[in-house]
Structure 1
Amino acid sequence: MMTASEIVALRATVHTWRFANRPRKIGTGSILRRDLVLVRVELADGTIGYGEAFHGHAGTAVAEIVNTTMQEVVLGRRANEMLAVREETRDRFLIASGMGGFIFALSGIDIAMWDAYGKSSSRPAWQLLNAVTPDFPAYAGGFTLGYSTPELLVADLQGLRDRGYRAAKVRVGDGFEADVARVLAARSALGEDFRIMTDANLGQNYDVSRLATVLGEIGAEWLEEPFAPGRRGDFRALSSLRRVPLAAGENLFGADAFAEWIGEGAIQVAQPDVSRVGGITEAIRIGHVTQAHGARFVPHISHSALNHAATLTVMSAVGSTDFFEADPTAENPFRNGAISGGARVMDGRASLGEEPGLGVEVDEARLHRDHPGESGSPWPRERRVG
């Protein structure tokens, strides 16, 4: 007999918002647009839960996995059977066939199931996980603070500080002298009390150990993704110098991978993204693994309020006291437009409220009207000269 919490419908749609002014270039180029794969589950009692799956540079392909293969995995399950969905997906599609878009699809489904479970229970998802009230320091991350002059970076950081932030992530990787000039200017202008994180976005074109020395001297929180994930040995070698903590995780998949990276000293800061790593359920497992190894747990974020609320839910569930990565951009319709609510970021703090589920409002009609999805990658190809 069908129960009220049984999942009777599962659907994914792609939505796009193009930047009016594209963010400054970072190590992976300059992004053209935000792509969102919205996952929707419906329960027998009419409850709707939403999640965000990472687009994986092919959002329509991720949506296709949700709308076809994952139907038989999810439909007929109860809203609280997240672990069963995880196990079947791993056994059938991840272990034997590789990760691909299935891990992204699973991520969005898992988040949507937690949202639906909370709504059907009339309780916030973080309370269902027996978490403490989620409230965390926030640092300014996302697509902000790309390559610029030291003067422009300092002005940007001062603006963020005026908004209450006491920490921000600076992009590095466009040349040793330029990188050093920026981070030294930031430290000098903002003072020792302002926390500085750095992100190389998968690598630099020079000996990164030189920059690591400078970052250690200014007390940087971490150097994120100085190499591509296939270069784990290089992570270990740089970590062994003990100049600055290394961070990674948005491109790692599964608690087992994080256990290996952290256990062998490749990274000291774990940064899973709930929309890429398997959802809330898998991210909690990663949080516990990270804490057991004595490393820092500072998740990466994706585009929407759904991801941000799910991230705070995970952090609260594992008892984290570390930083939440906030999206400080003034305009993001997937955070403060067609999708809104959930995470509250104010005066350098991030928190969740008492609303059921993830506490996020989704206006599907507005999404379909104003943000029709585009295919392909939101990161245009960087053309080389010569």
Structure 2
Amino acid sequence: MAPVARLQAWACRSPIAEPVATSFGIMRNRPAVFLRVEDVEGAFGWGEVFANWPAAGAEHRVNLMADDIAPAVLGREARDPTAVFRTLEAALHIRALQCGEFGPFGQVLAGLDQALWDLAARRAGRPVAQALEPDAPTHVPAYASGIHVDAADRLIPEARATGFAVFKVKVGFSDRDAAKVREIASGLETGERLALDANQAWSPEAAATFLDSVGDLPLLWMEEPIRADLPVANWRRLPRHVPLAGGENIAGEPAFARALSEGVLAVYQPDVAKWGGFTGCMAVGRAALRAGQMYCPHFLGGGIGLAASGHLLAAVGGPGLLEVDVNPNPLRDSFGAIADRVADGLWQVGTAPGIGPAELPEAVRAAVTHHREAA
């Protein structure tokens, strides 16, 4: 028996010179929440909790861990992360329902699941990818993400020089976006691919107009052109010139199963730090592959969650790509530069035990705004 004896979480914020803009809001700093779990024998594991939104979300997630979730975790056997995740998801459902905060509860549980798998893999002396799937590869295809349509002329060449050959551009800002996308596509080199992400920017009518206007381009996918929670009939009315992608704003295996049965999405993108951790996202990824669809984990955060996403994709397998945000983020880069992990379009998952990082770098500790511990 190795019960959980200690939980810690750190909210961090790093200033950035250039804000990160999406169609629904602007990030003026880069936040992250890192979670550490330790059992009675001193074994430990790390995870990351989604903290990009709302603006004050990082500190809230730390308090949620310490005050609401830790009491349900401390003393619980830590050797079976899947069992812990499923038990806690059910046990905390009513509390999340009572306060209407399914997202925050799910996000903290996602970080906890990562940490428990990290702990288990460290005990076994294996990378998480191989703990989840013994034949998992050590490299996975990756793409450069977070590229604002107005900054593509600068960021795509930089990402290309880093080693990427697939690029995802954010749209949904103006009625000139389609023309800009055409210019970007015309500048790609042989073998390079382009995907788009609207971050739920448009009405179904506006999305259809945009998709019609770029439908002749060989786009890899169009991500969240409309609100993720709109009835499926709205999604079915969208033109299918471009494959549709989504999943970062879907939570729970029943919801993903419903999306798969509806057959609208061609690319499924659950986020390891937003819902499910390894346990939930692994199940969704494998279900997507069984259905003949693509699984590409979503991620836009710090260094632990990015590393976890790489392990997850390696374990699930298939033709998917790892999302790597190429905007400056010290809370990611302090764990290792992107250029040191990407070559020829492939991300090095890593062969160290667990997810990889064993402690928070000093630069990350210097960015801590809030810390809580429960034991």
Instruction: Identify which of structures 1 and 2 has the higher relative contact order when contacts are C-alpha pairs closer than 8 Å and 6+ apart.
Output: 2
**Shift, 1:155, TM fit:** 3.9
Q: Which moved more, 1:293-302 or 1:56-65?
A: 56-65
Of 165, 182, 204, the residue aligned with 1:184 is 182
**Secondary structure class of the residue paired with 1:170:** strand
Matched, 1:8 2:5: yes
Post-superposition Cα deviations, 1:59-116, rounded to whole Å, max 9, x if no partner, equal 2222122112222322223333222222222222236725231101100100111111
Go from structure 1 to structure 2 and tell me whether the alpha carbon gap of 1:374 and 1:171 turns closer, same or farther (over 3 Å shift): farther
Post-superposition Cα deviations, 1:319-356, rounded to whole Å, max 9, x if no partner, equal 22321111223x4222221x448992233211212201
The CA distance in 2 between the partners of 1:38 and 1:63, in whole Å, is: 9
Counterpart mapping for 1:232-251 below 5 A: 232-233=231-232, 235-239=234-238, 241-251=239-249
Q: Is the 8 A contact 1:213 1:244 kept in 2?
A: no
**Secondary structure class of the residue paired with 2:18:** coil
Matched, 1:61 2:69: no
* Residue in 1 that maps onto 2:347: 350
Counterpart mapping for 1:265-280 below 5 A: 265-280=263-278
Q: Percent identity of the aligned residues?
A: 29
Post-superposition Cα deviations, 1:27-84, rounded to whole Å, max 9, x if no partner, equal 1232111111111101222222111011242222221221122223222233332222
**Shift, 1:234, TM fit:** 5.2
**Secondary structure class of the residue paired with 1:353:** coil
**Secondary structure class of the residue paired with 1:208:** helix
Amino acid at match of 1:146: H
**Shift, 1:374, TM fit:** 7.0
* Residue in 2 that maps onto 1:211: 210
Go from structure 1 to structure 2 and tell me whether the alpha carbon gap of 1:80 and 1:214 turns closer, same or farther (over 3 Å shift): farther
Q: Is the 8 A contact 1:340 1:361 kept in 2?
A: no
Post-superposition Cα deviations, 1:286-337, rounded to whole Å, max 9, x if no partner, equal 11221122111011013122111211221122222321111223x4222221
The CA distance in 2 between the partners of 1:215 and 1:137, in whole Å, is: 25
Matched, 1:104 2:102: no
* Residue in 1 that maps onto 2:291: 293
Matched, 1:221 2:223: no
Amino acid at match of 1:68: D
Q: Is the 8 A contact 1:270 1:290 kept in 2?
A: yes
The CA distance in 2 between the partners of 1:173 and 1:367, in whole Å, is: 32
Q: Which moved more, 1:197-206 or 1:223-232?
A: 197-206
* Residue in 2 that maps onto 1:167: 166
The CA distance in 2 between the partners of 1:179 and 1:261, in whole Å, is: 28
Amino acid at match of 2:143: Y
For normalisation by structure 1, the TM-score amounts to 0.86
* Residue in 2 that maps onto 1:40: 36
Q: Is the 8 A contact 1:134 1:312 kept in 2?
A: no
Q: Is the 8 A contact 2:10 2:368 kept in 1?
A: no
Q: Which moved more, 1:263-272 or 1:202-211?
A: 202-211
Q: Is the 8 A contact 1:248 1:270 kept in 2?
A: yes
The CA distance in 1 between the partners of 2:183 and 2:221, in whole Å, is: 17
- Where structure 2 has 5 or more consecutive residues not aligned to the other structure, the ranges are none
Q: Which moved more, 1:80-89 or 1:95-104?
A: 95-104
**Shift, 1:364, TM fit:** 6.1
For normalisation by structure 2, the TM-score amounts to 0.89
- Where structure 1 has 5 or more consecutive residues not aligned to the other structure, the ranges are 376-386
Post-superposition Cα deviations, 1:5-33, rounded to whole Å, max 9, x if no partner, equal 4321012221111212223x321232111
Matched, 1:90 2:89: yes
The CA distance in 2 between the partners of 1:367 and 1:137, in whole Å, is: 27
* Residue in 1 that maps onto 2:48: 52
Amino acid at match of 2:88: T
**Secondary structure class of the residue paired with 2:35:** strand
Matched, 1:113 2:101: no
The CA distance in 2 between the partners of 1:73 and 1:17, in whole Å, is: 31
**Shift, 1:265, TM fit:** 2.1
* Residue in 1 that maps onto 2:79: 80
The CA distance in 2 between the partners of 1:197 and 1:94, in whole Å, is: 36
Structure (1 or 2) with the greater strand fraction = 2
